[in-house]
């Protein structure tokens, strides 16, 4: 059991404390309830742009990194379609430095044209490097557009198109900040060599005076069930042909999520998995093949992607893949196979919890989902999954009308 204490400041900031005296370090994690799905469809990429802007200096602190490095700390951040997470780790005796830094940038970033210009260039270069110039870099842009017609998951965290970030004005950026980066839309997790009492004092001192802001209530368009298969072809200067398939799945808080997660493990969790054994090792149609899911808060996607062995025909590779799916739908899995993936999942969860950084991040994410206690109860949900549930869910997910296919052909 992972122990933690939770309290809420008057301005709405939720604070969770997880003491761990076995480490001399402390992790301070601030998660904001804003991701790419909260952007204006005509102004995408802003949540990710902010991940960069938040390190550009705040109203009382010209640079974020320097004071943290002097205090012996390190930091990073990440953005998804659902959230933005900032975290730092430093020696416990210097914890107040982290509170000072994080509270000041929540209070107010130092908005100026120069900072925006610098970070905009960084993000634009990232967009070009990873999504325009990189082989297969446009796959998930194309796949999201194919799979989603209404929900804002139809664009990636980096943004729908480069122009949106290039055209971002200082006013656009300010409006986005004051709408989302407020105490009432945030969760603070402090984990490591601390006490709850000490954190309460520091939280009141540094975060308490910040105005709460207005609670952001989402009203996102709901994706309707897919009623017919969709497919598209791409020809590009890539080394080999590749096949990508996606199916819509349930949301993160649906109990069927745990069934879906185990399905992905059965199909592609390592060298003994079904897809690797049948399609890479035995039939030698793919050089590699992977099955995963988006893990998104709202209804997401389960995807299978594979690079074909040179000379293999796309139709043959796809037919062999669908045969494996059909076998899963018709015959399900044995108790032994299910227990094996449950054991693997238990090991992965235990390994994750070994790191105080990971525990802090998970507490923050679960709290954002609405239930921090999931950190202690998720394993039970995996253990409760039955072979019958797995069989039924495979029939629901891998319905022909729920499928989106991207055929990626090499020009070479």
CA distance 186 to 87: 13
With the CA atoms of 41, 43, 45 and 48 taken in that order, what torsion angle do they form, in degrees rounded to the nearest 10?
-110
Domain-located, residue 225: no
Task: Give a yes or no: residue 217 inside a domain.
Answer: no
Can you tell me the mean pLDDT for 396-406? 98
Q: Whole domain around residue 68: which residue ranges?
A: 5-206
Q: Is residue 152 part of a domain?
A: yes
Same domain flag for 197 and 302: no
What pLDDT, on the 0 to 100 scale, is given for residue 96?
A: 97
pLDDT of residue 286: 97
Residue 311, domain member (yes or no):
yes
Domain boundary among 206, 238, 268: 206
Task: Specify whether 13 is located in the same domain as 46.
Answer: yes
Say whether both 237 and 202 belong to one domain: no
Residues 279 and 336 grouped into a single domain = yes
- Per the prediction, the chain carries an average pLDDT of 95
* Same-domain pairing of 269 and 402: yes
Range 278-291 average pLDDT: 96
Last residue of a domain, one of 206, 241, 274: 206
Residue 54: per-residue pLDDT:
86
The answer to whether position 140 is within a domain reads: yes
Check if the beta carbon of residue 354 is closer than 8 Å to that of residue 191: no
Q: Are residues 259 and 310 in the same domain?
A: yes
Per-residue pLDDT at 141 exceeds 80: yes
The number of residues making up the chain comes to 412
Q: Check whether 63 has a pLDDT greater than 90.
A: no
173 three-state secondary structure: helix
pLDDT in tens, 353-364: 889 999 999 999
Burial of 380 from C-beta contacts in 10 A (0-12 / 13-18 / 19+) = exposed
Check pLDDT > 80 for residue 269.
no
The CATH number for 55's domain is 3.30.830.10
Same domain, 314 and 402: yes
Domain annotation covers residue 213: no
Q: What is the mean pLDDT of residues 378-394?
A: 97
User: Where does the pLDDT of residue 51 fall: very low under 50, low under 70, confident under 90, or very high at 90 and above?
Assistant: confident
Q: Which pLDDT score is estimated for 113?
A: 85
The predicted structure's pLDDT at residue 396: 97
pLDDT tens readout for residues 177-186: 999 999 999 9
pLDDT of residue 353: 87
Residues 151 and 260 in one domain: no
Kindly state whether residue 109 falls inside one of the protein's structural domains: yes
The total of structural domains in the chain comes to 2
Does 193 lie in the same domain as 324?
no
Q: Are residues 257 and 351 in the same domain?
A: yes
Q: What is the pTM of this model?
A: 0.94
Q: Is the pLDDT of residue 272 over 90?
A: no
Q: Which of 190, 206, 222 is the last residue of a domain?
A: 206
pLDDT tens-digit profile of 80-130? 999 999 999 999 999 999 999 999 999 988 888 888 888 899 999 999 999
What is the mean pLDDT of the segment spanning 328-335? Answer: 95
Nearest CA-CA partner of 282 in 219, 324, 249, 221:
324
Within 10 A of 283 (CB to CB), how many other CB atoms are there? 16
The predicted pLDDT at position 266 comes to 95
pLDDT at 409 (0 to 100): 97
In a domain, residue 219? The reply is no
Other CB atoms within 10 A of residue 74 CB: 11
pLDDT digits (tens, 9 = 90+) for 145-200: 999 999 999 999 999 999 999 999 989 988 999 999 999 999 999 999 999 999 99
Q: Are residues 186 and 276 in the same domain?
A: no
Q: Looking at residues 263-281, what average pLDDT do you find?
A: 92
Residues 351 and 271 in one domain: yes
């Amino acid at each position: 059991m992972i122990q933690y204490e939770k309290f809420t400041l008057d301005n709405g900031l939720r604070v969770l404390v997880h003491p761990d005296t076995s480490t001399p370090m402390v992790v301070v994690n601030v998660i904001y309830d804003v991701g790419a799905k909260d952007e204006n469809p005509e102004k995408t990429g802003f949540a990710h742009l902010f991940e960069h802007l938040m390190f550009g200096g705040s109203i009382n602190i010209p640079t974020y990194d320097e004071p943290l490095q002097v205090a012996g700390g390190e930091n990073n951040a990440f953005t998804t379609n659902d959230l933005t997470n900032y975290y730092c780790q430093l020696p416990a005796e210097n914890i107040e430095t982290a509170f000072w830094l994080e509270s000041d940038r929540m209070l107010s970033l130092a908005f100026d044209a120069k900072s925006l210009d610098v970070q905009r260039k960084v993000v634009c270069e990232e967009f070009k490097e990873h999504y325009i110039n990189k082989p297969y870099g446009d796959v998930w842009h194309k796949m999201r557009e194919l799979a989603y017609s209404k929900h804002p998951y139809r664009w990636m965290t980096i943004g729908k198109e480069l122009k949106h970030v290039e055209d971002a004005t200082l006013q656009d950026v300010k409006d986005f900040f004051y709408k989302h980066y407020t105490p009432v839309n945030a969760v603070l997790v402090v984990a490591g060599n601390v006490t709850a009492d000490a954190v309460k004092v520091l939280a009141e001192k540094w975060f308490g005076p910040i105005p709460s802001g207005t609670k952001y209530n989402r009203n996102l368009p709901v994706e309707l069930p897919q009623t017919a298969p969709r497919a598209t072809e791409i020809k590009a200067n890539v080394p080999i042909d590749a096949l990508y398939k996606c199916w819509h799945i349930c949301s993160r808080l649906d109990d069927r999520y745990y069934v879906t997660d185990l399905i992905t493990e059965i199909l592609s969790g390592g060298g003994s998995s079904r897809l690797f054994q049948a399609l890479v090792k035995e039939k030698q149609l793919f050089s590699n093949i992977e099955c995963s899911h988006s893990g998104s808060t709202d209804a997401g996607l389960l995807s299978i992607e594979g690079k074909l062995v040179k000379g293999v025909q796309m139709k043959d590779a796809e037919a062999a893949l669908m045969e494996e799916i059909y076998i899963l739908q018709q015959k399900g899995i044995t108790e032994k196979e299910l227990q094996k993936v449950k054991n693997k999942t238990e090991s992965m969860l235990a390994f994750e919890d070994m790191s105080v950084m990971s525990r802090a991040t998970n507490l923050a994410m679960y709290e954002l989902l609405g239930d921090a206690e999931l950190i202690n109860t998720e394993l039970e949900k995996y253990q409760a999954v039955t072979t019958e549930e797995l069989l039924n869910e495979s029939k629901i997910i891998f319905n022909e009308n729920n499928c989106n296919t991207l055929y990626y052909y090499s020009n070479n």
